[in-house]
C-alpha cells in the first residue's frame, strides 16, 4: 500500500493533485513544454503515478487553466465595476485584458490554451463567454447605435494587442495604443 502524506486518502489525493497543478503551472509559466516526466519529476512521483490523478497531460492543462482563468475574469469584472460610465468600462475591458495577457502577466495561459486538444478547449469556452458577456453588456450600455459592430471592433482591438505582444512590440505602447483606439471608436460611435 502506498504511503499517504495526509490524514486521509481523500486529502492526500487532493494535495497531490494540487501539487501536480502547481508544478504544471510553473513549467508552463517558464515557457517549457509540459510533459508527464517534467511534472512528475517536479513533484517527486513516478511518471505512471501521474495517471492516478489525471487521464492525460491535456487534462492537467485544463486543470491549470481552470485554476488560473477565474482570476483573469475576476480581474476584468473588478476593473469594469470600478468605472462609472459604460465608455470607461469598455476602455477598462481593453486595458485589463491586455495588462493580463501581456508579457509579465498571464500570457503563458494564452499560449497554453492555444496548445490544448479540441475537447479540452470546449471546456474553456465558458470563460470566454463570460468575458464576452461583460464586454457586450458594457457596449450595450454605451447606447451605441451599432452595439454588435462595436463589440466586434473592441474585441478586434484586444486581439490586435495580443498579436503585437507576440510580435515583440513594447507592451506599454501596445496597451496605450489599444486603449486610445478603443476610446476613439467609442467617441466616434457616440458622435463626439
pLDDT the model gives residue 147: 94
Q: Tell me how far apart the alpha carbons of residues 45 and 129 are, in angstroms, rounded to a whole number.
A: 37
Mention every residue, 6+ apart, whose C-beta is less than 8 A from residue 86: 138, 139, 141, 142, 143
Q: Is the pLDDT reported for residue 1 higher than 60? A: no
All three cell numbers of 57? 497531460
Whether residue 144 contacts residue 189, with contact meaning beta carbons closer than 8 Å, is answered with yes
Closest CA to 128 of 98, 155, 95, 167: 155
The whole-number average pLDDT for the span 62-90 is 91
Q: Which residue did the predictor score with more confidence, 28 or 122?
A: 28
The alpha carbons of the chain give a radius of gyration, in whole angstroms, of 20
Q: Is the pLDDT reported for residue 98 higher than 60? A: yes
pLDDT the model gives residue 154: 97
Q: Which CATH class is domain 64-189?
A: mainly alpha
The whole-number average pLDDT for the span 66-75 is 86
Whether residue 129 contacts residue 65, with contact meaning beta carbons closer than 8 Å, is answered with no
Q: Which residue did the predictor score with more confidence, 155 or 123?
A: 155
Q: What percent of the chain has pLDDT over 70?
A: 84
Domain ranges of the chain: 1-54, 64-189
Residue 4 — φ and ψ, nearest 5°? -110, 150
**CATH code assigned to 1-54:** 1.10.10
pTM for the structure as a whole:
0.77
pLDDT the model gives residue 7: 74
Average the pLDDT over each of 50-59, 63-72, 182-191 and give the range with the smallest value. 63-72
pLDDT, one tens digit per residue, over 16-49 is: 899 999 999 888 888 788 889 999 999 999 888 8
Average the pLDDT over each of 58-67, 73-82, 154-163, 165-174 and give the range with the smallest value. 58-67
Average pLDDT, the chain: 86
Amino acid at each position: 500500500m502506498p504511503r499517504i502524506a495526509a490524514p486521509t486518502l481523500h486529502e492526500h489525493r487532493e494535495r497531490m493533485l494540487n501539487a501536480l497543478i502547481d508544478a504544471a503551472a510553473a513549467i508552463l509559466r517558464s515557457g517549457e513544454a509540459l510533459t508527464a516526466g517534467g511534472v512528475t519529476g517536479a513533484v517527486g512521483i513516478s511518471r505512471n503515478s501521474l495517471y492516478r490523478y489525471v487521464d492525460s497531460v491535456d487534462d492537467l492543462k485544463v486543470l491549470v487553466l481552470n485554476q488560473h482563468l477565474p482570476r483573469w475574469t475576476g480581474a476584468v469584472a473588478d476593473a469594469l465595476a470600478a468605472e462609472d460610465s459604460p465608455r470607461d468600462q469598455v476602455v477598462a475591458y481593453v486595458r485589463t485584458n491586455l495588462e493580463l495577457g501581456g508579457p509579465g502577466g498571464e500570457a503563458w495561459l494564452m499560449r497554453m490554451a492555444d496548445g490544448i486538444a479540441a475537447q479540452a478547449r470546449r471546456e474553456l469556452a465558458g470563460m470566454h463567454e463570460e468575458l464576452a458577456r461583460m464586454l457586450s453588456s458594457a457596449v450595450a450600455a454605451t447606447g451605441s447605435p451599432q452595439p454588435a459592430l462595436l463589440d466586434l471592433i473592441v474585441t478586434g482591438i484586444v486581439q490586435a494587442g495580443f498579436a503585437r505582444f507576440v510580435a515583440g512590440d513594447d507592451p506599454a505602447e501596445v496597451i496605450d495604443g489599444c486603449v486610445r483606439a478603443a476610446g476613439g471608436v467609442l467617441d466616434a460611435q457616440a458622435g463626439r
